[in-house]
Amino acid sequence: MASRSQLLLVASVITLCFSSAVNAQTFQNEKYGQEDKFRQLEEILPTPNVYRTASGAPGSEYWQQRANYVIDVELDDEKQRIIGSETITYSNHSPDTLSYIWLQLDPNINTPDSDAALTATPPSFDRMSIGALDRLLVRESFDGGVKIKSVKDAFNNPLEHTVVKTMMRIELPTPLASGESTKFSVAWEYNINNAKLVGSRTGYEHFEEDKNNIYEMAHWYPRMVAYTDATGWQHKQFLGRGEFTLELGDYVVRITVPNDHVVTATGVLLNDEEVLTDEQRQRLKDAETAKTPVFIVTPEEAKKNESNKPTGKKTWIYQADNVRDFAFASSRKFIWDAQLHNLEGNRVMAMSLYPNEAEPLWSKYSTHSIIHTLNVYSRYTFAYPYPVAISVNGPIYGMEYPMICFNGPRPEKDGTYSKRTKYSLISVIIHEVGHNYFPMIVNSDERQWTWMDEGLNTFLQYLAEQEWEDDYPSRRGEPKDIVPYMRSRNQMPIMTNSESILQFGPNAYAKPATALNILRESILGRELFDYAFKEYARRWMFKRPMPADFFRTMEDASGIDLDWFWRGWFYTTAHTDISIENLRIHTVKSRDPDVENKLRREERDDEPTTLSESRNKELPKRVDEYEELKDFYNSFDDLEVTEDDRKAFQRFLKGLDDHEKELLESKQYFNVVELRNIGGLVMPVVLKFEFEDDSSREVRIPAEIWRRNSEKVSKLVITNKPVKSVTLDPHLETADVDLTNNHFPRRPVKTRFELFKSQQQSRNEMQKQKAAEKKANDEKDKSKKKDK
């Protein structure tokens, strides 16, 4: 029996652990002293009911409200204002009677006395730029709030209404019973924010050179507040970060703009013969059969349009069915390209609109990125159901709406662009077009849970990026990329409300995306994960899922209990740090005295001599002086093999049957790996055994190995060769934050800093050598020349 328990101490350990948040813990087991990491989540999740089942699917009486809109809106390019009137038909599919209804007035976030402004903490004034100072002062004076001009019922009678911050309550003259609809209209206007000064998800950009504007308009009309089985009216006010909670419905929108503007919007254009030239309509037709994007408005035409003056107004009419929101963009600066894409039988017009400032980047990549996104996302969810998918360049860096999204990256003024700008553009378009699936169609509550759309979307973005080109530089998705964040202590669980999250990007985008990637690659496998994820998307397409519906569906459809995974990754801030503490190797004794005694002698000889023993050796001994004192025992070696021993062994062998003999002769090694969970997160254990002959073997153990003891476990692995070393997580798939304890025997692992510095130094050594060689060669050349 051999035992190797030597632990090499490594100085460069960089783990920082913290006691994992036990906010979700509803019991205490003081005697055992351990948290039950595999306890079911049913104590935390809402009780299943007729609206939402325990399997994660919509229930037999699932309902959601519906709001249809007919809107007339005018964009005033002189004063940058929106003037609108709308008629909303609101259908109450809930089992409840409603005596009042709520509308969202999002532009009210842009008043100096909004909650968003009042609760903002001061900026840091050290080295503040002039631009930042400008933004502060504009924010102080800009009045972007909505002026409600009228609220009327279907018979034009005024309706009583009360504005509460970014919402408005309308009193219904007669309560709206379950199953009934009501129709009412609202007229309003407001000043549009300059998006470069008052940051937002909407606004205009002014171009000083040609005095034109690009408008990217969103949450520009009073929208129904969602009324749901989970929250009633979603009364979380708009503070800027938590995005939108919306009802699905049908829209007809008439957008009046200066007659030289090009308008693009959620939905299909109904009056193309009125607003487009014959040539433009022909080009759109050509785009239906084109293999690459076709210009509807060319760069040259757009450049020429910049010096236009409008001679009147034009109204563009758009229709959009089954959408939860409506956005549009308008400018005379737009270049416009389009290509029809056939997606599993659905005809989708992919289009991009951008100014000349965005060229040559946008005509090359935007529409291609849209089509690529639709292809990949549809494969993992459902076929894209809408007729158009549009990407617009303007002041907003990246923001998603149904069928249309706003994306910011542009080349330099001289038309050159860096690699990073290129990939930023492709990534942001994939991300924002991807949002059509989550949350536009799988209509989650963004005001409450950012991760339900951003996390899922960032995960699919990673998959789509990796199908764009080899080694695409994806920022989020790979487990190793999230290690520094996971290691940090000041975090909140993913299950935290949007407005309260501290590090928004890592918390709501990167961590859930990485968790899902780990779930797919290392826990469920691609086949099970993809089946369950698709099932979730399809179950909740055009419906409103809550977190429990996602957690439950993923388990229900994969057939794997994942409560431990949701608990660890979504409800706590624990991280992965598993350590190989020891490796014990056991072998079967052959019982052959010639073999065993030799081994034992070797072991005995290996034992160190003590200090006294070695010094005593030189002392004269009495038995040497008086030889007669020596007898049999002075020369007897108890490890000497005698004939009796050999005979006994032969008798033993005879008594064995064939199977027993086979076992005895087989050279099996029984390796016991002792593991300790330091980070708190229970995770699968992936072990790579390397053998003396340089071959290796990998063993993958599910996370359930931790189910009885989540702090310390051992695993037996039988091999037929002696093990040289063991590595934990050899493919970096678990986001283990401390790799120094992932090897047995321990290997020194350098910090990032040390690694970089040593590379620098070795590079310098090489340079020195090269320089020396060059010098030597030069001198040779010189001497040769001299010789001549």
Window 557 to 586, contacts with another protein (CB under 8 A): 577, 579
Crossing angle (nearest 10°) for helices 643-654 and 593-606? 120
| Rounded CA separation 295/411 (Å) | 20
Q: Which stretch binds another protein (CB under 8 A): 166-174, 372-380, 467-475, 623-631?
A: 467-475
Contact call for residue 187 and another protein (CB under 8 A): no
CB of 703 to another protein, least distance (A): 20
Contact call for residue 451 and another protein (CB under 8 A): no
Contact call for residue 500 and another protein (CB under 8 A): no
Q: What are the start-end ranges of the H helices in 501-628? A: 504, 511-518, 526-539, 547-558, 563-571, 593-606, 611-617, 622-625
- For another protein, the binding residue among 410, 435, 539, 552 (CB under 8 A) is 435
Contact call for residue 14 and another protein (CB under 8 A): yes
| Rounded CA separation 485/609 (Å) | 51
Q: Which stretch binds another protein (CB under 8 A): 372-380, 478-486, 545-553, 599-607?
A: 478-486
Give the other-Cβ count within 10 Å of 681's Cβ: 28
Contact call for residue 728 and another protein (CB under 8 A): no
Contact call for residue 382 and another protein (CB under 8 A): no
Contact call for residue 454 and another protein (CB under 8 A): yes
Residues between 284 and 343 with contacts to another protein, criterion CB under 8 A? none
- For another protein, the binding residue among 21, 117, 495, 528 (CB under 8 A) is 117
Tokens of 389: 């998918």
* Percentage helix, strand, coil for the chain under 3-state DSSP, each rounded to 5: 35, 25, 40
Burial group, residue 344, by CB count within 10 angstroms (0-12, 13-18, 19+): exposed
Residues between 49 and 108 with contacts to another protein, criterion CB under 8 A? none
The answer to whether the beta carbons of residues 331 and 215 sit under 8 Å apart is yes
Q: Which stretch binds another protein (CB under 8 A): 51-59, 194-202, 644-652, 716-724?
A: 194-202
Residues between 659 and 688 with contacts to another protein, criterion CB under 8 A? 676, 678
Q: Which residues contact 453 (CB under 8 A, 6 or more apart)?
A: 243, 435, 438, 439, 442, 444, 446
Contact call for residue 431 and another protein (CB under 8 A): yes
Q: Which stretch binds another protein (CB under 8 A): 297-305, 482-490, 688-696, 771-779?
A: 482-490
- For another protein, the binding residue among 190, 244, 509, 689 (CB under 8 A) is 509
Q: Which stretch binds another protein (CB under 8 A): 421-429, 519-527, 600-608, 774-782?
A: 421-429
Contact call for residue 41 and another protein (CB under 8 A): no
| Rounded CA separation 598/160 (Å) | 101
| Rounded CA separation 364/370 (Å) | 12
Contact call for residue 415 and another protein (CB under 8 A): no
Contact call for residue 219 and another protein (CB under 8 A): no
Contact call for residue 121 and another protein (CB under 8 A): yes
The answer to whether the beta carbons of residues 563 and 556 sit under 8 Å apart is no
Q: Which stretch binds another protein (CB under 8 A): 135-143, 279-287, 294-302, 318-326?
A: 135-143
CB of 37 to another protein, least distance (A): 15
Residues between 692 and 711 with contacts to another protein, criterion CB under 8 A? 711
CB of 354 to another protein, least distance (A): 18
CB of 445 to another protein, least distance (A): 17
Cβ nearer to another protein, comparing 305 with 514? 514
Tokens of 594: 């010639």
The answer to whether the beta carbons of residues 233 and 258 sit under 8 Å apart is no
Nearest to 683 by CA among 560, 542, 519: 519
The answer to whether the beta carbons of residues 106 and 327 sit under 8 Å apart is no
Q: Which residues contact 571 (CB under 8 A, 6 or more apart)?
A: 21, 23, 24, 44, 493, 494, 495
- C-alpha to C-alpha distances, 334 to 198, 218, 310, 575, nearest whole angstrom: 23, 18, 15, 48
- For another protein, the binding residue among 317, 348, 350, 396 (CB under 8 A) is 396
